[in-house]
Every structure is written in structure tokens, then in C-alpha cells.
Structure 1
Amino acid sequence: MAKDRYVAYVGTYTHGSSVGIHIFDVDAEKGKMVERKVVPINNPSDVIVSTSGKFLYSIADEGVQSFRILPDGDLEPINSVWTGGMRGCYLEVDEQDRYLFVAGYHDGRITMMNLNEDGFIGEIADGIFHKGIGVNITDRSSMPHVTCVKVTPDQQSVCAVDSGLDQVKIYRIDRERNKMELEDILRCELDSGPKMLRFDRQHKFAYVLCEMDNVIEVYEVGARNDDVDPFKMIQRISTIEPDEKQRAAASGIEFSPDGNHLFVTNAGINTVIIYDVDKETGVLTPLFHCKTSGDYPKAVAVMPDNKHFIVLSHETDEIFIYNMNYEDCYFLQDSRPIKIEQPNCIFIHKL
């Protein structure tokens, strides 16, 4: 019986020697990645594969770029479209592949782009600039900065994480009018710097990673009605030790494919912390944390075997693969680092 085939798409900043999206063949059983080719594109700082698995969308200096995914995982360019604002930083698609959502760090904008069935990115459906100003206790910008966009599990709304305002704005998706309408705001701790949001595999809980506070805020996601708040905070847990706060910045967050564990990277102190996930309550329990190789572990991804995980060390231009031992609470570097200039994002795709 043939085993499943996977590729990994790694986006980079291309103002150095890198030229675009690096395609790797992935051996999930052995925890290995072998680079096959690079597809030219300007600064693909985030990439995402459509729900259908047929297309890949990427951030680009020009806006957003679409590609057709060929049977071997290679990418064939389709079209490029401006997003109506400054260069984006994060992408999301809905389950119907009807919309592509773009987060704008530089201009504090969330953009909703129309998608066609043939993979072409259509015109802008809607776009909203966040307004206001946050606090500036630490040395960081408190202007609006949208760092992540995630569609809610019921597909009714999209969450826009704003690190400058310390908020997660929730917009209802009006598919009849192709509009987004603000319906709720999650107000995180002041100066916490929310950066990323993930929903658990069972779609019952939301996890907001706060970069400045180095914490994860856990929310129970309930039914939407006038009497019940659909997002109820149930836990706030640190990603670091108390004496590490001045040197650390929570950076990446991802679930293991089986949903049993949550992985978080901490830049500055260069660590990964792994949590056990209680699937019934959503509560996180720290399993262990450990130092990683390289500098600035910006993103993390867990391979389909649930045992190997990948860390992109942005500042030292390397990809590291680690082998997890959950029972004895340690991980080991599984192979030599892969050299790649300024890796920024990774998406593992099953062919």
C-alpha cells in the first residue's frame, strides 16, 4: 500500500539571495525534508493552500498571488492581485474557497478577496482599516497592526488579531452582500500584544498567543445567540519561566495533527514549549520546554506523524527538524539544519 505523499512550502523574505517559495519533498515517517526547487515570487511571507487542495495563495509585494498545485506539488502561477492596502503578512481561506482573507500589519487592515473556482483571485470584496491607538508601556508601536486572520469554525465570522490595539476583532461574514460587519471584540490584557490565533482540532476552543506577555489566552467557543458570549476565557497560561520575560517574545503556535499537543516557540530565549491539550475542557498543561538551535524560532509546524516538528530559525537562516519523545519529555535534533535565507512561514500539504 502506497504511503501518503507530502510537500512543504516555505516562504521567505527575498531582499537577500532567496528568490521565493521553496518546495520540499517531505518524508513524514522519517522526519526528513529534501528541497526540490524554488518558485520565484517577491517576499512570500505567508502561504496557504485552498480547502480543496488544488491551489496555493501567497503574500507578495504586489498584493497576493495564486498558484495551481500540480500533481507532484510543483506550483504553476495563475494571477496576482492588489489587496487595496499595504503589503500583507498573513492569509486565511474559508471552507468554501470563496474568500481569501489578508491581514495587514503595516496598515492595520483586514481585506476580503473574492476567489474563483479555477483558482483565480478576483476583486476585493471588502476591506476595513482598524482605527484607534493602544497603550505603549513597552517599546513597541501601539498603532493598529493586524497580524493574523482566522475564520471561525462555524464559518460565520472572521477573527482579526490586532497586536497594536491588544484586541481580536470579530467580523460577521455577509455572503449575500460580500461584506464584513464588526460583531464583537475580544479585549486582551493591555500591552500583551496578541499575535496569533488557533482553533483546536475539534473546533471547541480558541487559543490566542500574546507576543509581549508571553502567554496563551484560551477561550471556550460557544453557540452564537443574544444571551451567551461566544468567546469565554477559561485559561491564561505562560509560555516561559518568570525570569525570562524581559528577553522573550512568543512567536509561533501550532497544534499537532492529532490535536493532543500544542507547540509554541519563544524568540529571544530560543525555546519551544509543548503543552498537553485536554480535549474536553480545552485547558493546557505544560509538558516541558527546551532550547532550540539557531536564532529567532519564528514559525513551527508539526509533521503528520505527530512526532517530528519543524522550526524556522529566521535570524540564522536555517530550518531544524526535531524528533519528539512525549513520554520522557525531550526532543532531539534529527538531522543537519537546512540552510535557507530568512524563512518566514511553512505549510505542509498532502498530495
Structure 2
Amino acid sequence: STLLASSAESGVYKRQGALTPLGTVAVTPSPSFLVRHPARPVLYAVNELPEGKVSAFRVGPDGDLTPIGVRGTGGAEPCHLAVTSDGGHLVVANYGGGSVAVFPLDPEGVPGERTDLVAHSGHGPDPQRQEKAHCHMVSPAPDAGPLFAVDLGTDSVYRYDLDAASGRLVPRAPRVRTAAGAGPRHLTRHPDGRRCWLVGELDATVTAYELTGGGALHQRGRVDASARAGHVQPSEIAVGADGRFLYVGNRGIGTLSVFAVAGELPELVAEVETGGEWPRHFALTGEHLYVADERADMVRVFRVDANTGIPEPVGEPVAVSSPTCVRP
């Protein structure tokens, strides 16, 4: 299989197997985040620019990319995107614009004209990072539940229903407020559909929520993202496929935290060094975990122990210039 990695320096690279470098497969400006279509061989990349764009590519059998469409996101610096579970819409988070954009996808996965753009408003206590809304992630429900939009600038998770016919977002009130100054970045949902966890980039915490059948979020408590000293700036958060362990990437100290999630609150069971200091993103697939370390210019492979959930490094890191996202 082919692993695709985006670089802050305008490229998408492909790697295979034990990460043999296969070269650049697409040149596109600032593709800081990637996502694959759930059913079609299509890859989407944000172009994190002052006038944001999203680029779509057909993925060939060998991992080569062919451009099939570019759309403006209606806001500055898009940093995250996701495809709805039915494959019908692409949703984009504009970080600089503090907004959420929606695009219909045709049967081949090509994005059409934008059908909605919803802007958040407000600010948080951190004058440098929370001077206004900064939408950092969009998380469509795997079923009929609401879409979540995580906003770092307003310490909020906004909930929306996406009308499939019109491609419009219908807000659900009220928004979910995090602790002041948390700076929520990403969230991950448990496979059981009843729990999710939110990582705070600014206060370096993980907040546990119960997800009700009606789409409400009930906070269960918070834990530190890392047990290490130093400046910790968490990045990605994800649950393993079997639902037993939760993983958090910690920038600044270069670790992956591993939490057991059998109880009400995540319990830290290990903290593994990634070999760099700035793990911007990671991806779990099968027994492997791939880490993109933006400042160490590398992607590193780990094998995850099925019993303990703890990742162990495999082989040598692979050189990728300023990697920001990895997609198996």
C-alpha cells in the first residue's frame, strides 16, 4: 500500500511498504492537511493560503496523483477537511477565517460549487492565539448525528446538521464550551459512538465527553496530555481501531502519549519519544502508526503492540521536508 505525506513546502509525497521514498506525486501550494474519499480513489488537500483553496486529486493504482478540481474555501488558511460518511460532501475548516465551508461531491468525488460557509464569532483569553475565531477541525458523524466544528479561538465545539439535499449547515444550539484558554484543536470519536475526546493545544489537556444519542456532549473530566515537563503543545488525537487506547501527539517535547480508555477518564499508560520534537500529525493503520515530525523533516514508523497499545519504532526515519500530514 502507499502512504501519502504532505509537506509544508508545496508537495505531496508517496512512500511504500517499509517507507521506500517514491518521490513527489503532486505540487500544490501549502497542502497542510490531506484526507481520502471513503469510497473513491480521490485525495483532497487544503491549500493553507490567505485565500484558501481545496484541491482534489485522482489517486492512481501506483499512488500517482492527477488533479481533478480546485475550489476556493471562502476563508483564509484552511487547515483541516473531512468527507461525510456517505461520500456526498466535503467539509473544510478555515483557520484564519474562523469558518466552515461545504462542497458537494459528484459520484466520482469531484467537488462542486461551495454550498455553504458558516462563520464563527468571539474570542478567548489568549490575546495571541484567541483574538478571534479559528476553526481548527471538522468532524462529520459516522452516522446521522451532528457534525462537530472545533474552534481553537473561541474555546468551543460547534454542532451542525448537514442537510444533504441543499448542502447547508443547520446550527444546533448551544455550542459546547471548553475550559477557558484550552484552545481546542482536534477531537476523536470512539468506535462505539458514545464517547469522544478533545485535545487542547493551548492548555495541553485531553477532555473526555459522553456523546448522547441526541448528539449532545457531556463533559466527563480532563487530564493532562503529557506527564513530561516543558512546553507541551498537543497536535493530533486518535483512538486505536479496537477502541482500547487513545493516542496524543505532543509537540515541543516530541512524544506520543498512550492512554487506556476503559474507565471514565483516560489513564496514561505510556509516553513514547518520537525521535523529533514536533510531531504535527500521525496516522494509525493496522498494527502501524506513522508520525510526521514537521521540524525534524521526517516520517517515522512505529509498530503498535496489540496487547499494550504501546508503539515501538521500526527501522530508520524517512526524510520528508516539513511533513504536516500522513495518510495511509
Q: TM-score, normalised by structure 2?
A: 0.92
CA contact (8 A) 1:78 1:119 kept: no
Is the alpha carbon distance of 1:72 and 1:45 closer, same or farther for their aligned partners in structure 2, counting shifts above 3 Å? Answer: same
1:209 Cα deviation (Å)? 0.7
1:139 Cα deviation (Å)? 4.6
CA contact (8 A) 1:205 1:282 kept: no
Residue of structure 2 in register with 1:20 after alignment:
11
Residue of structure 1 in register with 2:196 after alignment:
206
Residue of structure 2 in register with 1:302 after alignment:
284
CA distance in 2, matches of 1:45, 1:142: 22
Is the alpha carbon distance of 1:258 and 1:298 closer, same or farther for their aligned partners in structure 2, counting shifts above 3 Å? Answer: same
Map 1:262-341 onto structure 2 (within 5 A): 262-278=246-262, 283-305=265-287, 308-325=288-305, 331-341=311-321
User: Please, which runs of 5 or more residues in structure 1 have no aligned partner?
Assistant: 1-5, 27-31
Residue of structure 1 in register with 2:238 after alignment:
254
1:347 Cα deviation (Å)? 1.2
Residue of structure 1 in register with 2:37 after alignment:
50
State which of 310, 322, 326 in structure 2 corresponds to 1:342. Answer: 322
CA distance in 2, matches of 1:329, 1:197: 19
SS at match of 1:333: strand
Map 1:2-13 onto structure 2 (within 5 A): 6-13=1-8
The Cα RMSD (Å) is 2.0
1:188 Cα deviation (Å)? 0.1
CA distance in 2, matches of 1:145, 1:205: 24
Query: Structure with the greater relative contact order (CA < 8 A, sep ≥ 6): 1 or 2?
Result: 1
Residue of structure 1 in register with 2:98 after alignment:
108
Residue of structure 2 in register with 1:3 after alignment:
none
CA contact (8 A) 2:38 2:83 kept: yes
CA distance in 1, matches of 2:208, 2:309: 23
- In the TM superposition, what whole-angstrom CA distance separates every residue of 1:200-235 from its partner, at most 9, and x where no partner exists? 1222211111111211111111111xxxx7211123
- In the TM superposition, what whole-angstrom CA distance separates every residue of 1:70-129 from its partner, at most 9, and x where no partner exists? 223322211111122223110111011111000011110110111111221100110011
User: Please, which runs of 5 or more residues in structure 2 have no aligned partner?
Assistant: none
**Which residue identity is paired with 2:16?**
D
Map 1:74-89 onto structure 2 (within 5 A): 74-89=64-79
Worse overlay, 332-341 or 138-147: 138-147
CA distance in 2, matches of 1:102, 1:269: 29
- In the TM superposition, what whole-angstrom CA distance separates every residue of 1:236-274 from its partner, at most 9, and x where no partner exists? 221122x73x51111121222332221111111221111
CA distance in 2, matches of 1:232, 1:333: 36
CA distance in 1, matches of 2:106, 2:131: 36
CA distance in 2, matches of 1:85, 1:269: 32
State which of 137, 141, 150 in structure 2 corresponds to 1:161. Answer: 150
Is the alpha carbon distance of 1:68 and 1:286 closer, same or farther for their aligned partners in structure 2, counting shifts above 3 Å? Answer: same
CA distance in 1, matches of 2:247, 2:211: 21
CA contact (8 A) 2:209 2:220 kept: yes
Dislocated runs of 4+, deviation >6 Å:
none
Identity of aligned residues (%): 24
- In the TM superposition, what whole-angstrom CA distance separates every residue of 1:158-186 from its partner, at most 9, and x where no partner exists? 11100010001111212233211211311
CA distance in 2, matches of 1:152, 1:288: 29
CA contact (8 A) 1:303 1:309 kept: yes
Map 1:55-74 onto structure 2 (within 5 A): 55-60=42-47, 61=49, 63-74=53-64
CA distance in 1, matches of 2:146, 2:312: 40
State which of 129, 136, 141 in structure 2 corresponds to 1:140. Answer: 129
1:187 Cα deviation (Å)? 0.3
CA contact (8 A) 2:258 2:310 kept: no
CA distance in 2, matches of 1:103, 1:230: 21
CA contact (8 A) 2:58 2:68 kept: yes
CA contact (8 A) 1:161 1:168 kept: yes
Residue 165 (structure 2) pairs with residue 176 (structure 1): yes
1:58 Cα deviation (Å)? 1.0
SS at match of 2:182: coil
CA contact (8 A) 1:95 1:155 kept: no
**Which residue identity is paired with 1:91?**
L
Residue of structure 1 in register with 2:117 after alignment:
127
Is the alpha carbon distance of 1:327 and 1:95 closer, same or farther for their aligned partners in structure 2, counting shifts above 3 Å? Answer: closer
